[in-house]
Amino acid sequence: MKPARKFLPFHSGRIVIIPGRKPFTFKVEFDPQALTARGILASISNCFAKYDTPILSLHVAGKPDEPLWAFIACDLQDPRRAEGILACVKAVPYVRNAEYSPPITEGVAVDVWGYPPLLGGVRAVMLREPVFRAFLQYGWRQMGTGFGSILYHTFFDAGAEAYREFYSVFAKRREDQAKLAEHVFRLAGYGILEVVEYTDRRFVARVYDSIECKHLGEFEEAESMMIRGLLAGSVAASWGVDRGISSHGRLSA
C-alpha cells in the first residue's frame, strides 16, 4: 500500500550547496510588530530583485515571545552587490538589524547565526540517515531483542512526554491530535503516519516508509520497536494508562 497523498522532500538544515555558484546568506532581525505587519517580506524580496540576485531559501523564525528573524540564502554572483542589498534591507520598515555571510567555500553557504534547532518549541538534534542506520544496526547486532526493549521503553516515554507537553496542549480534540501527530511524525523524518482508528479503547495506525524498518531487513528477530514505542507512549498518555499497555494487539503500526 502507498499513502494517499504525495509528499515532496524538503531541506531542514540551513546549508546551501550549489556547485559553481556564490551562495551568500543573510540574517534579518525584526521588531516584534513585524510579525503581524503586511508586505515586509515582499519589500525585502524586492531588495534582492533590485540587485538581480535570486533568493534560494527564505525562512522566518520566531513567535511573539521569541526573537523574530529571517534567514535568507541567495545566489550572489557579484559579491560587491552584498552591501547594496544589505543597505536596502535595513531600510525596510520594522527591520531592526541585518548582516550577511559569504560562502564557507566554493558553492557552499550556511546559516552562521541559528542555534539551537527547535521542533515544536523543544530543542532538536538532527541525524543524517547513515548515522541513524549505523546506530540502529549496531544495537540490534550487539544486543538483539534487548536493544529492541531499550528502544521501545525509551521511545514510549518520549511519546508520552510529546502527548502531555505538545499534542494535548495545542490540540484539544482527539481527531486534531491525530492529525497533528501525523504531520509532526512526517516532518521529523520517522516516516508517513496514517492514523486509521483512535478511540477511547483502540488505536490503529499505518506507517509508510518507516526509517526504522528500512534498515532492519537483515535482522530476523528485529521489530519496529522505536516507532511502536513512540506511538504507544503517546496513546497511553492520552488514555491515562502507564507503560503496562501492550506493544502488540491493539497497536498496529
Write the pLDDT tens digit of every residue in 50-106.
999 999 999 998 888 889 999 999 999 999 999 999 999 999 999 999 999 999 999
Q: For residue 242, what pLDDT is reported? A: 82
- Amino acid sitting at position 135: F
- Taking a C-beta distance cutoff of 8 angstroms, is the pair 76, 22 a contact? yes
pLDDT confidence tier of residue 244, bands split at 50, 70 and 90: low
Return all residues near 154 (Cβ < 8 A) that are at least 6 apart. 226, 229
CA separation (Å) from 184 to 103, 120, 192, 247?
Answer: 32, 8, 10, 21
How far apart (Å, rounded) are the C-alpha atoms in residues 232 and 224? 12
Grid coordinates belonging to 130: 547513515
pLDDT confidence tier of residue 247, bands split at 50, 70 and 90: very low
Write the pLDDT tens digit of every residue in 127-167.
999 999 999 999 999 999 999 999 999 999 999 999 999 99
The whole-chain average pLDDT of the chain stands at 92
Q: Let me know the angle formed at the C-alpha of 205 by 202 and 211, rounded to the nearest 5 degrees.
A: 145
CB-based contacts of 140-143 (< 8 A; 24+ apart in sequence): 140/216, 140/219, 140/221, 140/222, 141/219
Q: For residue 66, what pLDDT is reported? A: 85
Ordered structural domains, the chain, with CATH:
15-115 (3.30.70.260), 129-252 (no CATH)
